[in-house]
Amino acid sequence: GHIVWYQDNAPVGNLKDWADSKNLEFGSAQFHNNLRDADVRWQTYNEKDKVFNQIQKDLDAEVFSMPQSSDPKIALWRYKQLFNKDFNHLSKAGHDFIHAGIDSILESKFRDFHLNTVVGTWGDGDECHSWFSSGRVHLERSRNTMVETFKTDNVQFALSTGTNDVGGSGWVVVNNRFDGPRNLILSYMVSGPPSMYPKTKIEIYPYQGDADPISNTLNPTTYEYGKVPVHDVHTKKVATIPPGAWKVVWTPLEETPRPFRLTGVHVVSTEITEGGVNGPHPELYYVESY
């Protein structure tokens, strides 16, 4: 959990705010000496805990947690090597710890894994396209779109009109090949606060024939991690489409440093309202090189 700094029994900031106020570097001897006299407490996340508990119940999932003491000062001293000096990210030792924990869970679960298990579909059938990792877009698309490469530790890709046409409109064609209606879910890049991406109007037209479009608006700004600037992928249901081919058109509604970036399209059961993330871990920093 996060650590909150208190003064006079009232929250005034986070751990980084406290350290910055005293010009202290995370993990240093001075940091821990001064921390003894500070009033710092764990921040509670009752709603998040309820979600985790429900996931465990519904999916028989295993929740992996970082080691934690009831006293945050003790936890910071005992496990300081697991965290980066920027107060937000894990250190290499922290990543290694998570890796080992996940490996342990997988090894335990796979002991009971049935060899005849097969990959299935979501609900009544689905068709998902993601080019975030491969850069290969197998959908018909407008000529002005391009596959952009991201400058991250691992190369990732998005479909957009490019940085030379930030305000440009683009489109892709998706096909509901099934007998009944399906939810159309888009995966797209978000960042912030503030966001480098524009609010964007989505319009879905029949590929052949005339009809009023199905319209929606995407806001690619994330406040999920408070004031910590991140670069992430979100998914959102934008329409329920009948069988047939559909043209999905996006049009930016404001000027921003980067164009709207699409990373995946999913045609899924009407019981599904969120697709897989198909994107980076949320701790990726917002940087101008993206």
| pLDDT tens-digit map of 4-52 | 899 999 999 889 899 999 999 988 999 999 999 999 998 877 777 787 8
- Using the predicted structure, report yes or no on whether residue 283 has a pLDDT greater than 50: no
pLDDT value at position 277? 45
pLDDT value at position 200? 98
- 214-227 burial, b at 16+ Cβ within 10 Å, e below that, comes to bebebebbbeeeee
Residues of the chain with CATH 2.60.120.260: 127-268
DSSP codes of every residue in 103-162: HHHHHHHHTT--TT-----STT--EEEE-TTT----S-B-TT-EEEEE-SSS-EEEEES-
Distance CA 147, CA 290 (A): 13
Which is nearest to 188 in space by CA: 275, 257, 127, 66? 275
**What CATH superfamily classification does 127-268 receive?**
Galactose-binding domain-like (2.60.120.260)
| Per-residue pLDDT band at 258 (split at 50, 70, 90) | very high
* Residues 244, 207 contacting (CB under 8 angstroms): yes
Dihedral sign, CA of 230, 189, 154, 118?
A: positive
Single pTM value for the model: 0.64
Mean confidence (pLDDT) of the chain: 85
Which is nearest to 228 in space by CA: 157, 163, 286? 286
Residue with token string 């894990």: 90
